[in-house]
Amino acid sequence: MNESSPKSLSKSLTMFEGWSYSQTFRVIGQSLEERGVQDFSLTCQDEEFVVCGQRIAQLKHRWVDQFLGKKRAHTERSVEIHYSLKSLLWLQIRGESLRKNPDQIPDYFRFSQTIRTVGSYVETRSMPLLSLRLSGGTFYLELQERSGNKRVEEHSMGSFETYFIRTYLRRGIMKAAWAAR
């Protein structure tokens, strides 16, 4: 992202009309889960979301190592993934087809649910999100205040668990009230 003209992720969401942070981040989170991306940064460049991160890959397990009882070795690889509207739509449709039971309680500890919860939190902040970064189990949210100043919030991954539970319970209560109608 160019420092001289920061582009907020909320402005990029306007090109993804009808998409929320939670919906967008869930889809991106599912993709990152599949790829084994651990730490990452998320920005918007040229009308697409860009994720730069570290992917943990398992090296091929040789038969000799297996015979000797050695564990499989891991290596880190840098990745850069671009998500256009078209790719996010495809990932959304694919993700929906993989979910077996939409009424099932979501698993917070799945990365896609955690990052979806971060998206819900950002929506309540009412400040444009400039960037999102995950490093060593800590999220860094760069937000833009009304004054134009940048604000960086630091949250441990676990701090969003309580927020997730409250959000899920609120959604469940609303769903039950709707079903009772």
Contacts of 169 (CB under 8 A, 6+ apart): none
38-52, 89-103, 129-143 — which is least confidently predicted?
Answer: 89-103
Q: What is the pTM of this model?
A: 0.74
Rounded-to-integer distance, Cα 180 and Cα 165, Å: 22
Residue 80, domain member (yes or no): yes
Structure-token pair, residue 136: 């060593």
Residue 145, domain member (yes or no): yes
Residue 97, domain member (yes or no): yes
Separation in Å, CA 153 to CA 28, 49, 89: 21, 20, 29
Residue 125, domain member (yes or no): yes
Each residue's pLDDT tens digit, 24-42: 999 999 999 989 898 999 9
- Binned at pLDDT 50, 70 and 90, residue 3 comes out as very low
Residue 2, domain member (yes or no): no
Residue 1, domain member (yes or no): no
Question: What is the residue range of 120's domain?
Answer: 9-179
Each residue's pLDDT tens digit, 118-150: 998 998 888 888 999 999 889 999 999 999 999
> CB of 127 within 8 A of CB of 28?
no
- State the average pLDDT over residues 172-181: 55
> CB of 78 within 8 A of CB of 54?
yes
Backbone angles phi, psi at 124, to 5 degrees: -80, -15
